[in-house]
């Protein structure tokens, strides 16, 4: 089995209360949570967040589906590009609408880790694998 890619390997330094790093790691975890090779998912993260600067839920939501499909294509993330693009847009819209675009607000609204994971799972396209990847690194800074 392929080695898991960590937040630090992507240049994401997770810190308590640092919403920027948590959002970036959530996007990376979302991309890696699909049935796609981790290096391709990591490259897709780099194209979307680093090259295109879509590093907040607000900036991501202001992409078109076509722009996101193009970004995913540049990273060779083509197997689920249409559905992934739409789910990323839906994810950012929900995060903006329900939590003011902040993972830390999901944390504040959750009484414990289990409740937090349940809220993450309410995002379309976020399943147990995405939650497992995200929490592997983020749990250390979410602090209950």
Asked if residues 7 and 137 have their Cβ atoms less than 8 Å apart, the reply is: yes
Q: What is the structure's pLDDT at 2?
A: 58
15-142 CATH fold: Endonuclease III; domain 1 (1.10.340)
Q: What is the structure's pLDDT at 134?
A: 98
pLDDT, tens only, 73-95: 999 998 888 999 999 999 999 99
125: DSSP letter: T
Q: Strand ranges (DSSP E) for 9-121?
A: none
Q: Sketch the domain layout of the chain as residue ranges.
A: 15-142
Q: What is the structure's pLDDT at 85?
A: 96
Gap between the Cα atoms of 131 and 80, Å rounded: 19
What is the chain's pLDDT, residue by residue, as a tens digit (144 residues)? 557 899 999 999 999 999 999 999 999 999 999 989 999 999 999 999 999 999 999 999 999 999 999 999 999 998 888 999 999 999 999 999 999 999 999 999 999 999 999 999 999 999 999 999 999 999 999 987
Q: What is the structure's pLDDT at 105?
A: 97
Q: Is the pTM of this model over 0.75?
A: yes
Torsion of CA 68, 134, 57, 86, to 10 degrees: 40
Residue 61: CB partners within 8 Å, gap ≥ 6?
89, 92, 93, 96
- For residue 98, count other CB atoms closer than 10 A to its CB: 14
Asked if residues 43 and 77 have their Cβ atoms less than 8 Å apart, the reply is: yes
Taking 3-state DSSP, the helix, strand and coil percentages for the chain, each rounded to the nearest 5, stand at: 65, 0, 35
Q: What is the structure's pLDDT at 78?
A: 87
């Amino acid at each position: 089995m392929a080695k898991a890619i960590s937040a630090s390997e992507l240049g994401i330094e997770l810190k308590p209360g640092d919403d920027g790093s948590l959002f970036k790691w959530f996007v990376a975890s979302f991309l890696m949570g699909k049935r796609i090779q981790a290096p391709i998912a990591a490259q897709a993260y780099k194209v979307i967040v680093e090259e295109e600067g879509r590093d907040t839920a607000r900036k991501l939501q202001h992409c078109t589906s076509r722009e996101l499909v193009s970004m995913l294509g540049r990273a060779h993330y083509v197997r689920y590009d249409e559905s992934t693009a739409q789910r990323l847009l839906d994810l950012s819209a929900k995060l903006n609408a329900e939590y003011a675009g902040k993972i830390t607000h999901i944390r504040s609204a959750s009484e414990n880790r289990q409740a937090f994971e349940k809220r993450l799972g309410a995002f379309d396209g976020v399943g147990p694998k995405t939650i497992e990847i995200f929490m592997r690194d983020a749990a250390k800074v979410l602090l209950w």
